[in-house]
Structure formats: C-alpha cells, structure tokens
Chains A and B, each alone.
Chain A
Amino acid sequence: MTTGMSDHSADIAPADHPSHPAELARTAPTGQLPARFENPGLPTHIPRMADLDEKAARRAEKQVAALFGLSILGTLGFIASYYLVTEHGSVFVPGIGLMRAENLALGLCLAVSLLGIGLGAVHWAKTLMPDTEVVELRHPLRSSDEDRQALVTTLREEGRKSQLGRRPLLKYSMLGAMTLFPATLTWQLVGGLGRLPHNDLSTTEWNGRYLGGGKWQFVPKRLMRDPENTPIKASDVVIGSVFHVQPEGVLDMTEGKLEAKGKAAVLLMRLNPSDIRSTKELDWSHDGIVAYSKICTHVGCPVGLYEHQTHHLLCPCHQSTFDVTNDCHVIFGPANRPLPQLKITVDSEGYLISAQPFEEAVGPSFWERGS
C-alpha cells in the first residue's frame, strides 16, 4: 500500500474505501463461500413478564410507586432531622467508625430521597417502558463534495476581496499588531501578580536586622523553642532530644510570621562530639549541639522525624533521609543537598544563640541559589 498520499485520498473517498490493510488482507472468496460471515441481523425480541401479564405490570407499577414514596419519606426525614438531630454527638456506624449524628441523619435521609427517585425511574424504564431495541441509521458526517468545494471557494473568493494577499504592507502590519497586542494584558497580569524575589529566598530571620533594600545587619539571635517561645540553655539539650526552634522575635511577629517561620525553622539536636564526622559540623556546633535547617532541600516540607539511635533525620513527605553525624548529608531519597547548618554558640547567660546567618539558601533548590 502506498502511503501519505493515499491517506489524503482516503479522507475524501467514501468511508469504506479499501485503504486499510485489513481490506487488502481479505481472502478472495473460495468457491461460492463468502470471505466473511454475514451479519445475522437482530435477534428476536423476547417480551418481559410485564408485557404479557397485566398482573406483573401492576406489580411493577406498585414497586415504582413504593420507591417514589420512599423518596418522599426521605425528604420528610431530612427536614425532620434538620430540626431534631442537632447535637454534635457521634454515632458509631458499624464497620466504618464514628460519624456525627447530624451528618449521619441528614446524609441518610438525603440518600433515601435521591435513591428512591433514581431507582424508581430506572425500574419504571426497565419494566414498563418499551424494551424493544430501535434502530437508527447513521448518515455520513462529511458534507458533500460540492458543499466542501463551495466552502473553499467562498473562503478564497470572499477572502480575496479583502485584498490581503495583494497588499503585503497591510498583511504584515496587521500580523504585527495582532501578535503584539496580547502583550498588553499579559504585561498587566505578569507584572501585577507578584513581586520579584531579589535575594529573599537566600535570607532568613537569622540574617539579623533588616535594613531595607535587601540588606541585613547581622545580630546574633537566641534560639527559641517553637511554640513555647522560650530561650534554650545549652544544658537543656541532652543527647537524643530534638528541639524545634525559631529565631528570637519571629513568634512575636504580627505580620509575615508564617513566611518567616517557613524559612527560619531549625532543628536542634545534641550528639556526642566524637560521633560527629564532619569537622565543619563540629566547628559550627556548641559542645556537640548542632542546629540544622528544618526545611527539606527537596521541595520544602518540614523535616522532623528524628531517629535517636542512628541520628538520622527523615522527611515525612518523600522520605529523604539526612545523616546528622555527617553534616546532614543525604543518605537516602530524592533530595540532593544536605540540610544547611546554622552556626551556634552561647551568650553570656548561657542561652544558645546564632553565631552567623545560614551560609546558603535554605529549602528547595532554585536556579540562582548558587551551588
């Protein structure tokens, strides 16, 4: 069979034009036997009980009416429950569990109201409405060749009257105008939707005091328990414990609190200094107390499952696992980068404080974060 070409011709040819290999593969008739079986036509219609027996029909009618009646009861029940079942108590649904009584009553009544109508209508259709199959003929979807030709002719002839083809200046200026015009609305949308990130994603509240214009001045901040908002003494942190930490001030914020928490969240753990295998980690720790960003370097879930024995941090979202004994390098899962470490020390009162901001952007990767 030839290709591309015949596709096009087949498109215009009658629907059963033999362009399909199937057609070609048909075996030639052997003897007088046809190549294929004949369609035997519709089988005989077998009447239903209700078609033959008026009693059965009456029965069906009553069943349908009963279902509709049930629906009416459901509706009345719904309205009654709306006023009667008001407390918030729970009811035990066998096999499923506790459900609120009000929800159960309203929902069940609604279901009865709906199902009564639905089942009634379907039962009615199945038992009493004609079940003789009806045959409708299909007609070709395509228009006649003349009509198609007429369309093409019209488009071309009438189109020509616009003189678009003859006047290139017109054509190109129009094309230019039409291509450019969406820029107006797009500009408004893109320009108005959001602000530019600048260095936002690379800074956190640990950077210190915000001076405006993307600049910060570092001030050490106390590590505060989240949510208690109390400072942490180095002596409070024992091996095996884990503290959820925010920088001082964040939990008192009235504006931008969630945004600040989302970047500055830190986990504080204590290891036996001899278990720490990374010298940088040890340098940035205080006596084996280490602070790491809690925001997963994969797509940003809070990492928070800490295995005391192995000192592994596990992210609940996609199970990236970070090894706290080795500078939180990824030992399993889809994340690539270690959790950034926060360098800490203690102030004069013995409370843990930050010694410098995070050295790199916390959280999920983005193009210009630096590697």
Chain B
Amino acid sequence: MSTATTPAHQRPADALRDGDTAARPAPSTGARRLGGVAGWVDDRTGAAKGVTYLMKKVFPDHWSFMLGEVAMYSMIVCLLSGVFLTFWFVPSAGETIYHGSYAPLQGIQMSEAYRSTLDISFEVRGGLIIRQIHHWAALMFVVAVSAHMFRVFFTGAFRKPREINWVIGTILSLLAIVEGFAGYSLPDDLLSGTGLRAMEGFMQSTPVLGSYLAYMVFDGPFPGSAIIPRLYSVHVLLIPGILIALFTAHIVIVALQKHTQYPGPGKTEQNVVGFPVLPVYAAKAGGFFFIVFGIIALMSALVQINPIWGYGPYDPSPVTAGSQPDWYMGFADGALRITPGWLEFHPFGYTLSLNVALGALGLIPVMYTITGAYPFLERWVTGDTREHHLLDRPRNAPVRTGLGMAAMTAYGVFMFAAGNDIMAVLLHMSINDITHFFQVGLFVLPPLAFWVTKRICLSLQRRDRDMVLHARESGTIIRTAHGGYFERHDGIDEFERWPLVQHEAVAPLELPAGTDANGVASPTARSERLRARLSHFYFKDAVNPVTPAELAAAHPGPHEEEVPALEHDADHFVGIEQDHADGVGAPRH
C-alpha cells in the first residue's frame, strides 16, 4: 500500500493530531496498555496482523456507496428495536377483553397480540416510539435495499467476480419483504388481518394442493389461533437468523473482493483509491450509523405510522375500505388487481385459479429468479468473462441501463396499479379505465422505457464524445475579423477528459458458422446463433469512446497547438510520473 501523493508541507492540523500520540521512541502508558490488551488477545488468537490489515483497508468514497450502508444500518435498527418489542409483545391469538387506557376500545374483545400492541403504544412509557422506530426502520430498510440494488445494477457492479454477492443480495431483498410482511401481520389489527386473509386466499389458489397448504399454514380454518405465534417465530427467529447470516457473508465478500470504484483519473482495475478504515472510514461510517438512526428517530417522533388502535381488532366480517399494504407489498397487490378474472378455469370439475395464482404465487419467484440470473445472462451474451472492478457509467451500457429502466417500469406499473381505487377518486376517472390502462401499460410501458432510456444513454455518450473532441461549449459566440461566427470552446484537461474516454470500445460477437463440421445444424450452433443475436442486440448501437487518433483528426494542422496546450499545463498536477513508476494509477493494458 502506498499513498499517491505525500503532502509537501506539515499541515497545522497535524499538530492537533500529534498531541494525541506520543513521539515514537518511548511508548506512552496509553500505548503500552493498549499493546498489553491487544497482546493478550493476540497471544490467544493471532489476530494482530489481520486486524491491522482491516484497519488499513481502503474504501472508495461516493454517495451511492452509502445506499448499502443505509440498508445495513436500518436493518441493525430493526434488530435492536425488534428485541425491545419482544419484551412486551404477546404473540397469541388468545381472546381477551381490553381494559387499557385507550378509551374507544374499552371493553372490546380482542386477541392478546392486539392488546399487547395497544399496551406497547399506550401503557409502556416510550413504547410507541420504539414501535414507530421499528416500523420506519423496516420501511427504510426495504427502500435502501432496493436503491442499493439499483446502484449495483446500473453500474454493472454485479459483474465478475461479484455475482455471488448479487445473488445473496437478491435473496436478502426477498427476505426483507417477507420479514416485513410477517411483522406487519403480527399486531392482529383489522388491516393486517385483512392482509392475512388475502394471503390465505393466495395459498388456496395453489393448483391441486391449495386447501391443504392453507390448512397446514393456518392449522385449520382461517384465521385460527396458530398463525400469530407461527409468524412470530418466523419474524423474530427464522428470517432474522438467515438475514444476519447472509448479510455477514455479503459483507465479508465485499471486504475480500475490495469495493468497486467509479472510473476516474488514477483509478484502475488494479487499485482501490479511497480512505482507510482507521480513522476516516470508521468515523464516517460509524457517524453515518448514528445519522441514519437519528433520521429514523426523527421520522418516528414526527410522523405517525400504523396507528393500529384506529383500525380495531381483526374480525373477518367488517369491511376495511381502501386497505393498503406497506409499500413494498404494493406491487403484488397491484398484480392481483390487474390480472383479469377470466384466467380462472374449471377443467374437469376442478378449479384452477390462475387469476390469483399468477400474481400472488408466480410473480415474486419469477421476478427474483430473473433478477438473480441477470449477471449470468449478461455474461453469456457479452462473452465478457473478465473481472471488473471499475464501475460502468450507466450511459456506457445503454442496453443494460435500458433493461433496468424497463424492469423498474414494470414494477412501477404493478405498484401504481395497487392504487387504482385511490387514483380513480383523485383523478375523477372510472376505475375500469385506470385498470385497463395498467393492463395495457404492463406490456407497452416497459419496452417504451427501454427505448427511451437507451436513446438517452446513446445521446449522452455522443455528448461525451463531442465534449472530448470539441471541448466544452462555452456559450460564448465570437465574431471573427472576417465576419464569421464561432462558438468559443473552453478546453478540458486530461483529468476531465479521462472519465469520458476511459471505457472500452465494444462490438457484437461474431455470428458463428450455423452448422458443424459435417454441415448438420447442431444444437450448440443454434444456441450460439441465439447468443450472437442477443449480443448484436446488446452492442449494435454502441457509441465508442474517442481515441487519441480521432482527437488528433478533429484538430488538424493549424489548430494543433490548441489541443495539446492543456496537456502542457503541467503545474496543474503533480506526481503522475512517479505514480507510473510505482505501477500505481497506471491504466491497464
């Protein structure tokens, strides 16, 4: 490890820090004590070297890398506040009569689960803030996991060697929503009970085994008294256990593979440029945990969430108008709303309820399988088997970016479809029209999003090329002595240029011969043709970066001095020569 530049001058701030640690020769008592404790541990574990290595580990800095951190911290807040809740929550469907301090529910019959959640909210001092923190943290967790996933997708961070972490992340995201649904169902209020009622309907729609499955999960007819305690053990033990195990693997792999970084001057496939864990990253990341927790606390103080006392205890017969699940379940609810009823069939006196099963049972597995498989599909299509540690700028992978936007659009259609009733009221439109709009939109909007996104990416790439070739448009029009006009171009220096030209030129895979040696169409040849076609789809419109030759050609003869002029601007930057000598900051060949 080496620092790229050594500060030329002694900075005054160093003086501050100098006070913290004594001069080298004689270790201070503090240092000796630390050494003593560390020595005790190291004698028994031999961890000194590993810990030193970890403390010096470098992490690159970028706002988008904090999305994963937000996910991690809000999960920790969930775990922490969840443990608090377990001290008061009673996971039981046992009937009881309410005698607490919330007057409107006095004397009402309800389950222990609902009563204890009321008690957390009204009787336990500060209980409500813990409940609200738990729920807000859960929402934040799912938002952050999704945003983090999109960052990874659009920058191509899932490419080799990071496919394993992509798959783990996909599972984590699935577990997050299942965990959220299980938790949301625990208080046994009217809204969450209605959600469970629908869940039971989903299970019944399973072909052949539906009623058995539902009776197994609910231990008999709905609602029964088994589902709350069962969900409880799923919510506080089973899924958190898997979450923590997978999350740990996720983080260990990140450390092992080292973080990716955005392309930029001095950043290569062979290095990581950033800040060491100690002290900078520890302070920033540690501080950030408190900031995330603080923001969750702030939201919990100011904005009410899931006021279960207003809904009343669960009862299968009263109507809940406009029941809406937590946002991350919206897409599944929306899918149910736009699946047409004619998809229920009645073959041979049996009922095949695809109008429910497609959206309720099929969507999530299909969605998550495609997500999990994407890195492997892309790799097959592009034929790119190399390691990647520099991220793609999304515009430089127009087809991937387009596919991502198409997927987000499809998700958005499902999610907004869950609000079709609310939209009908707000927009004064017929709910039929809105539902039909979403039904058609599901097939039309994603391809449209793909096309628009790809066009935008391509034109951004062209703009990058223009920027490199013709520098930056200054907006200043200059009149020449001869009466002509031209726009003055301010130059860009090579540090500004590098991000625009660093990516690779690409071309589709060649179409292989369609037949094998004997002239027989072989199955492999067929799959290769498919692959070549997909590769063509992936790469065909590629806009490749400017090459030095193109730049030279764009500034021929007389103007030549304009171009390299900036590169002569050498006092602008130092240490390049020596970086190259170090083998640090040199581009790969």
A binding-site residues for B, Cβ under 8 Å? 1-4, 6-7, 10-11, 15-17, 19-27, 30-31, 33-45, 47, 50-54, 57, 61, 82, 86, 88, 93, 96-97, 99-100, 102-104, 106-108, 110-115, 117-122, 124-126, 128-138, 141, 190, 193-197, 200-201, 226, 244, 246, 256, 258-259, 261-263, 265, 294-295, 298-305, 316-320, 330, 332-337, 363-371
Minimum CB–CB distance from B52 to chain A (whole Å) comes to 13
Chain A residue contacts of B17, Cβ below 8 A: 128
Minimum CB–CB distance from B469 to chain A (whole Å) comes to 12
Give a binary string over B242-284; 1 marks a CB under 8 Å from any A CB, 0 the rest. Answer: 0000000000000011100000011111111111100110011
B4 touches A133 (CB 8 A): yes
A301-B211 CB under 8 A given contacts A39-B587, A88-B122, A316-B319: no
User: What CA separation (Å) do A97 and B275 show in the bound complex?
Assistant: 43
Minimum CB–CB distance from A304 to chain B (whole Å) comes to 3
Tell me whether B29 is interfacial, beta carbon within 8 Å: no
A103-B132 CB under 8 A given contacts A125-B283, A136-B58: yes
Give a binary string over B179-204; 1 marks a CB under 8 Å from any A CB, 0 the rest. Answer: 00000000000000010011011101
Residue of A82, A129, A259 near B283 (CB, 8 A) is: A129
Chain A residue contacts of B387, Cβ below 8 A: 15, 141
Chain A residue contacts of B234, Cβ below 8 A: none
B548 touches A45 (CB 8 A): no
With A118-B289, A131-B280, A316-B319 given, name 10 new contacts (CB 8 A). A39-B266, A40-B494, A102-B128, A121-B284, A129-B280, A194-B219, A256-B221, A299-B202, A301-B194, A301-B320
A300 touches B200 (CB 8 A): yes
Give a binary string over B534-569; 1 marks a CB under 8 Å from any A CB, 0 the rest. Answer: 010001000011111100100000000000000000
User: What CA separation (Å) do A230 and B362 show in the bound complex?
Assistant: 44
Chain A residue contacts of B268, Cβ below 8 A: 39
B356 touches A364 (CB 8 A): yes
Tell me whether B339 is interfacial, beta carbon within 8 Å: yes
A197-B215 CB under 8 A given contacts A25-B506, A138-B258, A364-B201: yes
Give a binary string over B473-502; 1 marks a CB under 8 Å from any A CB, 0 the rest. Answer: 000000000000000000000110110011
Tell me whether B414 is interfacial, beta carbon within 8 Å: no
Stretch at the interface among B37-45, B400-408, B576-584: B576-584
A136 touches B507 (CB 8 A): no
B509 touches A106 (CB 8 A): no
Residue of A23, A51, A111 near B11 (CB, 8 A) is: A51
Tell me whether B173 is interfacial, beta carbon within 8 Å: no
Chain A residue contacts of B210, Cβ below 8 A: 366-367
A57 touches B356 (CB 8 A): no
Q: Which residue of B lies closest to A304 (CB)?
A: B319
B294 touches A111 (CB 8 A): yes
Chain A residue contacts of B222, Cβ below 8 A: 259, 262, 300
Count, chain B residues at interface, CB 8 A: 168
A141 touches B495 (CB 8 A): no
B211 touches A41 (CB 8 A): no
A-B contact pairs, 26 of them (CB 8 A): A10-B386, A15-B269, A20-B504, A33-B548, A36-B587, A40-B265, A41-B266, A42-B5, A43-B495, A44-B5, A57-B13, A102-B126, A103-B132, A115-B298, A129-B283, A131-B275, A137-B584, A194-B215, A197-B211, A197-B214, A261-B317, A262-B316, A300-B200, A302-B316, A316-B421, A319-B420
B539 touches A21 (CB 8 A): yes
Chain A residue contacts of B384, Cβ below 8 A: 19-20, 22
A125 touches B548 (CB 8 A): no
B290 touches A115 (CB 8 A): yes
Minimum CB–CB distance from A254 to chain B (whole Å) comes to 8
A118-B316 CB under 8 A given contacts A135-B584, A197-B212: no
A21 touches B101 (CB 8 A): no
Give a binary string over B390-431; 1 marks a CB under 8 Å from any A CB, 0 the rest. Answer: 000000000000000000000000000000110000000001
A367 touches B208 (CB 8 A): yes
User: What CA separation (Å) do A246 and B585 show in the bound complex?
Assistant: 77
Tell me whether B62 is interfacial, beta carbon within 8 Å: no
Minimum CB–CB distance from A57 to chain B (whole Å) comes to 5
User: What CA separation (Å) do A320 and B421 show in the bound complex?
Assistant: 11
A132-B7 CB under 8 A given contacts A37-B548, A107-B300: yes
Which of A19, A42, A256 has the most C-beta atoms of chain B within 10 angstroms of its own C-beta? Answer: A42
Chain A residue contacts of B494, Cβ below 8 A: 37, 40
A20-B386 CB under 8 A given contacts A124-B283, A261-B317, A370-B349: yes
User: What CA separation (Å) do A337 and B346 show in the bound complex?
Assistant: 11
